[in-house]
Amino acid sequence: MAAEKKESKFVSAVVYLHNSGGNIAPFFDRVLGMFQENFEKYEIICVNDASTDDSVERLKEYFQDGGRDGGRDGGCMINLIHMSYFQGLEASMNAGRDMAIGDFVYEFDDINPDYPAQLIRDVYDRLLSGYDIVSASCKGKIKWTSRMFYLFYNMTSNSRNRIGQETFRILSRRAINRVMSMGQYIPYRKAVYMNCGLKTDTLYYESAGGTGRHKNKTDRNERTSLAIDSFIYFTNVLERISLVISGAFLLFTLGVVVYIVGSIFSASKPVEGWLSTMGFLSLGFFGVFSLLTIILKYLSVMLSLIFKHQRYLIEGVEKVSK
């Protein structure tokens, strides 16, 4: 349903492309249709993360052959960022977001259009009601590995906001400026957004089908590496594990001490050298893990202070439609 009056705010949409040629036409039919109906001016920034299929060719054909008027409705700019090599979802979307100039920025991590088109406008309206980050999440099934990751992450994170599976999101310019001021390099956008201190919300929807996204071995390796990095960056799980182990060795050490004291007044004597050996080992392991806990704490403080420098490489930027 078309809006009675188009919004005057400039809106950007950052779209991730990696071997997703089959989804380009249905995705842009849905997204551009809503943008044309609801916004006077907007831009589309597609980030080609070293696709090896025909994604780029299909994208150019879609706009040059008049798909949704080729985006030429008077208020649309379409740019295509080519990453120098495959750098993954997070780095690619960081590059696209840094180039976006809109007052509000949509981030489409996946171009599987399994949601109703009206949801694109709904997250925008929700943002205007007093939020800075609004996400859209499917109520459908989630892989058990992802479920376990989100469970442990939310249990160990210091953030009051919980993260979960998301399809796309919209951010205000204030939210973008806030996360950029937190550190130049953003390793996991979802976690940073939830830790930026601004109001967030999530709208849920029932999946309407869609064509799905094919995740190859490279995608899975990237997500696994990202999950491990996220636990290090944004949670204190390693500190907790180290503390638990240190506590266990402390209890064991105290038990050995009690046993040594008891054996002094006992008629039965243990094997010669056993008490001293076990006491030394238990105290040694306790000291090692206590030191490890202190080191991890200092590392976490250093990470929060200096974070990491921005790291992505762009091969070039191409205008698909002016």
Instruction: Supply the mean pLDDT for the chain.
Output: 79
Quote the number of domains for the chain.
Answer: 2
Task: State mean pLDDT over 293-314.
Answer: 60
How is 53-66 classified by DSSP, letter by letter? Answer: SSHHHHHHHHHHTT
Averaged pLDDT, 110-123: 91
Strands 133-138 and 200-205: parallel
Give the domain CATH number at 93.
Answer: 3.90.550.10
Q: Are residues 231 and 187 part of one domain?
A: yes
What is the reported pLDDT for 2? 47
Quick check: 268 pLDDT over 50?
Answer: yes
Question: How far apart, in whole angstroms, are the C-alpha atoms of residue 299 and residue 114?
Answer: 41
Q: Is the pLDDT of residue 322 over 60?
A: no
Q: Which is more confident, 311 or 51?
A: 51
Q: What is the pLDDT of residue 1?
A: 46
- Same domain (yes/no): 32, 179: yes
Query: Using an 8 Å Cβ cutoff, are 63 and 31 in contact?
Result: no
- The reply to whether 293 falls in a domain is yes
pLDDT at 131: 94
Kindly report the pTM of this predicted structure.
Answer: 0.73
Model confidence pLDDT, tens digit, residues 118-165: 999 999 999 999 999 999 998 876 777 778 888 888 887 767 778 888
Q: Are both 227 and 264 inside the same structural domain?
A: no
- Residue 145 has a pLDDT of 78
4 part of a folded domain: no
State which residues form the domain around 277.
237-306
Question: Does residue 1 fall inside a structural domain?
Answer: no
* Residue 3, domain member (yes or no): no
What tens digit of pLDDT does each residue of 204-245 get?
998 876 544 445 445 667 677 777 777 767 777 777 777 777
Residue 168: the pLDDT is 94
Total Cβ atoms within 10 A of residue 248: 14
> Pick the residue with more confidence: 43 or 223?
43
pLDDT value at position 297? 66
pLDDT at 86 over 50: yes
Residue 266 and residue 152 share a domain: no
pLDDT at position 194 is 84
Looking at the fold, whether 61 and 177 belong to one and the same domain comes out as: yes
Where do runs of H (alpha helix) occur along the chain? Answer: 24-38, 55-64, 88-99, 118-128, 144-156, 173-182, 189-194, 217-234, 237-264, 274-306
